[in-house]
Structure 1
Amino acid sequence: MRWVILIVSLALMTAYDAVYLDGELSREAIRELGTVTAVISERLS
């Protein structure tokens, strides 16, 4: 199961970098990422 968490965190970092590089750090996008992370964490545990 640890590799799943690794892949998820890697995807989140990539998405965060993409948003950051655009120059517009959308708070809604970050909230959505947080929600997705929470849902995935609940399903894993």
Structure 2
Amino acid sequence: MEDWQYAHLSEEQLAEIKALEHKLGVALIAYENENKQDHQEHLEN
């Protein structure tokens, strides 16, 4: 979203977006760690 679009959102909508962004970030970190671990296991075999 563009900065100007955020200005039109309610506090509740902003909070929901922040919560979803946090969940996405956590999921991305878990995904990257899993791929890293799989890659390391592949190199060891």
TM-score when normalising by structure 2: 0.49
Q: Comparing both chains, which one has the higher relative contact order based on Cα–Cα distances under 8 Å and sequence gaps of 6 or more?
A: 1
